Amino acid sequence: MKESRRKFVKNSSVLSLGGILGAGLPLEAIAKMRNNISANEKINFSIIGCKGQGWSNMRSILKNSEANCIGLCDVDRDVLDNRSNDVEKITGKKPKLYGDYRKMLENKDIDAVVIGTPDHWHCLNLVDSLEAGKHAYCEKPISNSITEANIMLESAKYHGKCVQVGQWQRSGGQYKEAIDYLRTGKLGKIRLVKAWAYQGWYGWVDEKPDKDTPLGIDYNMWLGPAPMRKFNENRFHFNFRWYWDYAGGLMTDWGVHEIDIALWGMKAKDPISIMASGGKYGYPNQDTETPDTLQAIYEYDNFTLLWEHANGIDGGNYGLSEGIAFIGSHGTLVVNRVGWQVIAQKDHRNGGDLFIDDVAKKTSTWAEVNKTYGNALDKHTKNFIDCIKDNNPKGLNCDIAKGSIVAVNAHMGNIAYKTGEKIYWDRENGNFGENKKANNLITPKYNNNWELPKI
């Protein structure tokens, strides 16, 4: 292994989600970045779900002087109070606070919403926002089911608003460069793509008992269309992603990011077949439901895609904790959040010479990525703002169509895991043919008087 590649592997293997989203400018520094803009040029934003990524997105949006935050909605009063103070530090004004997003959407001064709720809420939040005439920035995955993804796509088409999906890797310069290289054909025939997320820093959940809902939290509203149950800290805020009622585990958490790049590179959409195997091998006794270890194999028209994930382990393919590898007959392109490179393949039939030259990475740390390409999340939110100003949904770096494709593919992987069977996708009819077990998992059941939107 060359020294440059050793450094690339070493630096990439310690990467975590917090590397790009957790660190950032102090709120006071963001406030100083903002210029005075006339009221007519302001774009008024609000957030539905303010604690985690919803706030990270709004924080990034508010780095743009024309962006204003006039509304916050959350079921947790402490979160609302904290974020209200944060917004005031940046903009100088406190936003209006809401416990029910439907009330917030009645505010005609709101131009766009950021949807940062758990996955099982995204469909209702987005469809209602579009019907209220708002643009939307929707966190990934766009849905918690295949049917919801299709409904959201149709709603966005009907209303014609800008809907940016929070798959911000689409705005990362290293991914664009890697895809451009892929398009040259130098790698030869691509017959296998690997995408993976080995996340050692999270995924374990210590068991906690059910209890009465703490004061200031509207847990019934948080549950929404999910089945009614008593409050449990493990099913609230961050760890909701490990329970099927609310999310799809690491497959839909990280998988939509990485599989999105794989499908973008291969210009692919619908698979022919999917099979998956895994389980709760790392943490078999905790009360989570989604697999902490999973491999899913997708067959497309001219290649296969292997997705794999592992909670609680850092070392993935090529020594990287996350990434995508396009494996061709002449070489392999590896890209992830801190850079990209090409590893040449030997021509074993003709003396073992390399088919192509290696391509050394430009960047191998977050600091180098941000210096070379800029902050991808900030570029993603800026792209959203620019498209709103131009009323140009086609200019979005990750529109609802792109978000829908990868969400559907990720859900297919989870459905293959749940059925324990190799499943086949009927592209014409949008189902799994005669496989009743798989078809029963396409559309979710809504509870508590909430209804699946109809377009």
Give the domain ranges of the chain.
14-169, 172-373+400-439
Which has more confidence, 6 or 180? 180
Architecture in CATH for domain 172-373+400-439: 2-Layer Sandwich (3.30)
Please write the tens of the pLDDT for every residue from 76-101. Answer: 999 999 999 999 999 999 999 999 99
- Domain 14-169 class in CATH: alpha beta
Whether residue 6 has pLDDT greater than 50: no
Residue 2 has pLDDT above 80, yes or no: no
SS (H, E, C) the chain: CCHHHHHHHHHHHCCCCHHHHCCCCCHHHHHHHCCCCCHHHCEEEEEECCCCHHHHHHHHHCCCCCEEEEEEECCEHHHHHHHHHHHHHHHCCCCEEECCHHHHHCCCCCCEEEECCCHHHHHHHHHHHHHCCCEEEECCCCCCCHHHHHHHHHHHHHHCCCEEECCHHHHCHHHHHHHHHHHCCCCCCEEEEEEEEEECCCCCCCCCCCECCCCCECHHHHHCCCCCCCECHHHCHHHHHHCCCCCCHHHHHCHHHHHHHHHHHHCCCCCCEEEEEEECCCCCCCCCCCCCEEEEEEECCCCEEEEEEEECCCCCHHHCCEEEEEEECCEEEEEECCEEEEEECECCCCCCCECCCCECCCCCCHHHHHHHHCCHHHHHHHHHHHHHHHCCHHHCCCEHHHHHHHHHHHHHHHHHHHHCCCEECECCCCECCCCHHHHCCCCCCCCCCCCCCCC
Instruction: pLDDT band for 120, please (50, 70, 90 cuts).
Output: very high
Residue predicted with more confidence, 137 or 37: 137
pTM value? Answer: 0.94
- pLDDT tens per residue, range 135-164: 999 999 999 999 999 999 999 999 999 999
With a cut of 50, say whether residue 18 has pLDDT above it: no
pLDDT in tens, 251-305: 999 999 999 999 999 999 999 999 999 999 999 999 899 999 999 999 999 999 9
